[in-house]
A = this chain, B = another copy of it.
Amino acid sequence: MQRLDRTMSDVKKVVLAYSGGLDTSVILKWLQDTYQCEVVTFTADLGQGEELEPARQKALKFGIKPENIFIDDLREEFVRDFVFPMFRGNTVYEGEYLLGTSIARPLIAKRQIEIARESGADAVSHGATGKGNDQVRFELGYYALMPNVKVIAPWREWDLLSREKLLAYAEKAGIPIEMKHKQGGSPYSMDANLLHISFEGRHLENPSAEAEEDMWRWTVSPEVAPDAAQYVDLEFEKGDLVAIDGVRMKAHELLAKLNELGGKHGIGRLDLVENRYVGMKSRGCYETPGGTILLKAHRAIESITLDREVAHLKDDLMPRYASLIYTGYWWSPERRALQALIDTTQQTVNGWVRVKLYKGNVIVVARDSKTDSLFDPTIATFEDDQGAYNQKDANGFIRLNALRMRIAANAKSKRG
C-alpha cells in the first residue's frame, strides 16, 4: 500500500468548498499564500437561498482560472439521494435534531472529490472549524472516496483564531467586509440548505437564556402565524414523498413547498443542547419547517403500511443510523448496510396522509393506503366482528407468554 500522507510541499492543486462569504474568501487567499498552489473553487446550490454567481466574481478576483470555478445546482440530488433516504428511517438525533446540516456534508464531500478527480487536484479544503462536527463529516467523506487525498483544514492550521485576526487578514488581503461583520461582535454561526437553517454561537452560548426572536429566519413565530389552520395531503411512494395536495413534483420542489407551508405556519423551530462528536456539548437552534412536517407524515404512512416488527426493528436501529449520519459516516459501509435494511422495508410504504398545520403544530388527522394498508377494520372493530378474530386465542397467547414468569414465581415461592 502506498503511503497515506503527503507533506505540505506536495500540494499542487486544491479544491476548496467555497461559499463566497468572508470566511472561505480568507481561506482562499490563505491557501494561495501558504501553499503557493492552484485553487479550484466549488460552490454548491443546496437550496440555501443565496445567489451563487457573486461567488464566481469573487473567485475571479482572486485570480482563479475560469475553468477552476465550479458552481453546481445540487438541489435535486440533495433531496432525492440524501434527505429522502434519511427520512425513510424516521431519523432523529438525540430525540430532536433532524440532521439538516449533517446530511448535506456527504454530498458536498462527494462532489468535491469528483471535481478533484476531474481537475487533477491532489488536495481538498473546507472552512469548518476544529471544534465542530462538520470537519469530521467533510473529511470522513474525502478519505472514504479518495483515500490518499491531502486534506487542508485551515482553522486547525492557521493562527487566525480570533475574529479580530481574521478581519485583519481579510482587510490586508483586500477582501471586502460587510458592515455587519465589522460591528457588534460575532454573528451567529449559520448553515442553511433545503432541509434547514441552523444557528450556533453568540447569545446561544448560554443555554439558560432564551434565543432572541429576531434570530429566526425561515419560520414566523407561532404567535404571528395565521389564525386559520391549513389541511395538506401528502402522498408517498416507497417511503418517499411524491405529491402535495395531488401535485406531483421533483424531490427538491416538494421539500421547498413543505418549507413554504411550514414556515408560514410557524412550524419546525428547535432549540437544544446536543452532543458533538468531538466530545463537547453545544447549544444550537434549528428551523426545519418542511422536514418537521415530513417526519410526522412519514411515521403516519408507515403506521398503516408497515408490519409491527419491521417498524420496531427500524425504531431500534434508528438512533444508531442517526448517529452515523450526525458523526459523518454517510459513506461508510455500515451506513450502507443499514440503508439496505431500511430501503427494503419501504417497498410497501405507499399511501397518503392528511396533516393539519396550525401555529407551530403538525397534526396528523387521517391516513390511508389503497394498496398496502395493514389496518383491518373487520378485526380491529369493537363491534361484533363475525368471528374474524377469536378472542379465546388470547388465553393461550397470554398463558404461554406468562409461563416463564409463572415458573420463576413458583420456584421462588416453593423455596420460600
Q: Which residues of A contact B (CB under 8 A)?
A: 1-5, 90, 94-96, 129-131, 135-136, 139-140, 143-148, 153, 155-156, 161-163, 186, 189, 200-202, 205-211, 222-223, 227, 229, 269, 271-275, 278-283, 299-300, 303-304, 307-313, 315-316, 319-320, 323, 329, 331-334, 336-338, 340-341, 344-345, 354, 358-361, 363-368, 371-384, 386-411, 413-415
Contact across chains for A413 and B273 when beta carbons are under 8 A apart: no
Contact across chains for B406 and A363 when beta carbons are under 8 A apart: no
Given A207-B368, A337-B341, A144-B394 contact (CB < 8 Å):
no
Contact across chains for B310 and A410 when beta carbons are under 8 A apart: no
Given A375-B281, A390-B5, A395-B393, A308-B404 contact (CB < 8 Å):
yes
Given A374-B407, A404-B308, A337-B333 contact (CB < 8 Å):
no
Contact across chains for A336 and B332 when beta carbons are under 8 A apart: no
Given A271-B365, A358-B223, A375-B283, A1-B410 contact (CB < 8 Å):
yes
What distance in Å separates the Cβ of A352 from its nearest Cβ neighbour in chain B?
9
Contacts of A143 in B (CB 8 A): 398-399, 402, 405-406, 409
Copies held by the complex: 4
What distance in Å separates the Cβ of A228 from its nearest Cβ neighbour in chain B?
9
Bound-state CA distance A269–B395 (Å) is 33
Given A156-B392, A340-B344, A404-B280 contact (CB < 8 Å):
yes
Contact across chains for B344 and A337 when beta carbons are under 8 A apart: yes
Given A207-B366, A391-B155, A411-B376, A336-B331 contact (CB < 8 Å):
no
Bound-state CA distance A365–B207 (Å) is 8
Contact across chains for A394 and B394 when beta carbons are under 8 A apart: no
Apart from A279-B400, A281-B376, A397-B399: 17 A-B pairs, beta carbons within 8 A: A1-B379, A94-B312, A136-B394, A136-B401, A143-B399, A156-B395, A211-B365, A279-B404, A281-B374, A310-B333, A313-B338, A338-B341, A361-B361, A374-B404, A374-B407, A389-B403, A395-B396
